[in-house]
């Protein structure tokens, strides 16, 4: 399956989930599959999508948070798996589009093309709910399991690279404000009284 095909299939199953998309192709494909206010597209900070998802999952424990990461991005911030494995937010699902490539930068190999297993890495860092999927049907099954069995989940989806045709909105403040409005939280933060 290509990443774009898999993203389309995934998007159909997201419903009201909050989504943090890693920069580059994961974000481009998510936008191509149909834009929603509940999507937060990152345009930088490579590697931090799962960390942003962790913070969001902690702040919004009653919402499901889905992170769309890439293998190269997650390899930049493997410590995030250790922190997720420690905090264990039940409402966090990390999808890793694993194509064994730095796709956005021209197709250089990542370590997953040479033996690194991110599913095993997640389990080694205390995340017990994991899956590796290679077909759309397996992806559907894993997503269904992630709804019935508490997280945190790490789902490694083995995908083929697919060149994205469109880019999401590029105004960072617009992306943030739209996303926070969709959740229904005000700018400036709310907990603990007035700023």
Partner 1 sequence: MPWAVGVCAGLHAAGSRHVVYVPDNPLSHVLRALRENYPDVETTIATREEEAFGIAAGLYLGGKRPTVMLQSSGLGNSINALTSLLVPYQIPALILISMRGDAGEWNSAQVPMGRAVAPICDAIGLPHATATSPETTADTVALVAKTAFATRTAGVCLLPRRLTVPASRVGG
Q: What whole-number distance in Å separates Cα of residue 118 and Cα of residue 124?
A: 10
Of the two residues 136 and 185, which places its CB atom closer to partner 1 in the complex? Answer: 185
Residues within the interface to partner 1 (CB under 8 A): 20, 40, 42-60, 77, 79-80, 82-83, 86-87, 172-173, 175-176, 179-180, 183, 185-195
Please, which residues bridge with residue 40 across strands? Answer: 20
Three-class secondary structure of residue 72 per DSSP: helix
Q: What whole-number distance in Å separates Cα of residue 4 and Cα of residue 33?
A: 8
CB of 19 to partner 1, least distance (A): 11
CB of 119 to partner 1, least distance (A): 20
Of the two residues 52 and 129, which places its CB atom closer to partner 1 in the complex? Answer: 52
For residue 38, how many other CB atoms are within 10 A of its CB? 17
CB of 29 to partner 1, least distance (A): 20
CB of 78 to partner 1, least distance (A): 8
Of the two residues 148 and 191, which places its CB atom closer to partner 1 in the complex? Answer: 191
């Amino acid at each position: 399956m290509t990443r774009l095909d898999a993203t389309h299939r995934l998007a159909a199953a997201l419903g009201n989930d909050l989504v943090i998309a890693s920069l580059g192709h994961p974000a481009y494909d998510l936008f191509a599959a149909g834009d929603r206010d509940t999507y937060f597209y990152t345009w930088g900070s490579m590697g931090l999508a799962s960390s942003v998802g962790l913070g969001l999952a902690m702040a919004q424990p009653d919402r499901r948070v889905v992170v769309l990461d890439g293998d190269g991005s997650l390899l930049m911030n493997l410590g995030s798996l250790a922190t997720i494995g420690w905090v264990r937010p039940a409402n966090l699902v990390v999808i890793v589009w694993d194509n064994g490539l730095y796709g956005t930068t021209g197709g250089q190999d990542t370590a997953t093309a040479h033996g690194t297993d991110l599913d095993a890495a997640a389990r080694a860092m205390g995340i017990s709910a994991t899956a590796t999927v290679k077909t759309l049907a397996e992806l559907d099954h894993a997503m269904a399991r992630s709804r019935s069995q508490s997280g945190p989940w790490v789902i490694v989806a083995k995908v083929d690279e697919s060149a994205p045709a469109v880019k999401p909105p590029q105004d960072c403040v617009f992306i943030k404000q739209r996303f926070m409005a969709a959740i229904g939280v005000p700018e400036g933060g709310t907990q603990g009284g007035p700023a």
